[in-house]
Structure 1
């Protein structure tokens, strides 16, 4: 059974990890922060979070590949995924949705909008 309030955040930039984790806590969620996207699949399988937020520009594996892996795997396929990125072109949005993202959010977002999108992702 998924932890209703646990959100896995995959983000390589320390300042962004801190910002989004604090926003999640303010929203009443338990933020599980992951700096290294290479562990995202394993951690998602172990945690079974309510949702996963994936930065798209990551140093080792593209966030698109991380999302595709999550959506390809039986244990994590049904977990909603938010793509979080500084990229904001229509092509970037389409690539994120094609990879399996459920929601596309452009950085920097505002806390109210961000939390609204998380809530929508969980319903």
Structure 2
């Protein structure tokens, strides 16, 4: 049996953590959920997830700063990152991609689309 790929989810809203982690399990992934973005770098180094999903609007540190830190650190640079946000303007998309996100996804998403984007991120 193939081991499930671990996906780290960084999300401060409890209902969103529950929703997206359940979608990841349905998709055959092993979600590693963080509710505090200040622990992402250390957790990413320890857990070595296949990909990281980062909410952009976080209470303590901007998701953009989280992504930028992940992508500038040699230990986590190669981990694909999905920016997940309610923000939907062209400038929001550009800011996420400029910070280093590999994929930009707007909430709310549909499960099939979400899982397709995770699969593409891992390819």
TM-score category of the 2 structures, normalised to the smaller one: over 0.9
Task: Give distance in 2, aligned partners of 1:56 and 1:98.
Answer: 13
Runs of 4+ in 1 over 2 A off after TM superposition: none
Query: What TM-score do the two structures reach when normalised by structure 2?
Result: 0.97
Distance apart, 1:31 and its partner CA: 0.2
Residue of structure 1 equivalent to 2:120 = 120
Measure the CA separation in 2 of the matches of 1:120 and 1:23: 16
| Structure 2 spans left out of the alignment, 5+ residues | none
TM-score using structure 1 length: 0.97
Alpha-carbon separation, structure 1, partners of 2:4 and 2:43: 16
- The answer to whether the 8 Å contact 1:51/1:122 transfers is yes
Count of equivalent residues: 121
1:29 corresponds in structure 2 to: 29
Alpha-carbon distance in structure 1 between the residues aligned to 2:68 and 2:103:
14
d(CA) in 2 for partners of 1:61, 1:104: 18
CA distance in 1, matches of 2:55, 2:35: 10
TM-aligned CA distance change 1:4 to 1:98, over 3 Å:
farther
- Tell me if structure 2 keeps the 8 A contact 1:82–1:105: yes
Please name the residue that 2:13 is paired with. 13
More strand by share: 1
